[in-house]
Amino acid sequence: MEPSPESKSRLRPKTAATDLWRNTLAQIPSLLGRLIYLSTLRDFNTGSYHHHGLATVYGEEEANNAMRLSHQDTFAQWLEFPLEQQKADLELYVAGLEPERKRVVETWSRIEPYRTISPSSASPLEKQLFLTDLETLLTLMRNELGVASPDPTAWPHP
């Protein structure tokens, strides 16, 4: 039996932002993981965010706004973390990945995928703070894991 329209509306979250949080972001244990996930929803050519499920239920504009604002809020939360908490969160994120920690740290140090994580609304100062903090954490992790620093003069990068 098909649920009535009234019961469907009671089951569905009231906004795209609530839906995004409840059904997706709350399932990602690390703040950095949420930040990375949100950045992958952004089209680098247009700056718009795309999520088929949210757009189907709430429309492209509301879905885009929910993801954009969630990206901004998550980024601001990360920047508010002290370095020690950022390190714990980075370690939580890396621990949940399939490759071993050492390989992730080596790859991140070499190709720097974290450079695309900041929301487009972030100020140059916020972006620089994010990069400085993350690069500091990667240096600490490289030292802990015995990972060699990438040679910045080597071209092409391996």
Look at 32-46, 107-121, 143-157 and tell me which has the smallest mean pLDDT. 143-157
According to the model, what pLDDT value does residue 158 have?
47
Q: What is the mean pLDDT of the chain?
A: 88
Answer whether 0.85 is exceeded by the pTM: no
Query: From the CB of residue 62, how many other CB atoms can be counted at a distance below 10 Å?
Result: 16
Q: Is the per-residue pLDDT at 140 higher than 50?
A: yes
Q: What is the pLDDT of residue 98?
A: 82
Q: How far apart are CA 105 and CA 101, in angstroms?
A: 6
Mean pLDDT of 121-134: 97
pLDDT(9) > 70: no
Q: Could you tell me if 150 and 109 are in contact, meaning their C-beta atoms sit under 8 angstroms apart?
A: yes
Asked whether residue 30 carries a pLDDT value surpassing 60, the answer given is: yes
Q: Residue 32 belongs to what H/E stretch?
A: helix 31-40
Mean pLDDT of 40-46: 95
pLDDT attached to residue 100: 86
* 78-92 mean pLDDT: 96
Peptide bond into 150 cis (omega under 30): no
β partners of residue 60 = none
Average pLDDT over residues 79-84: 97
CA dist., res. 94 & res. 74, Å (int): 18
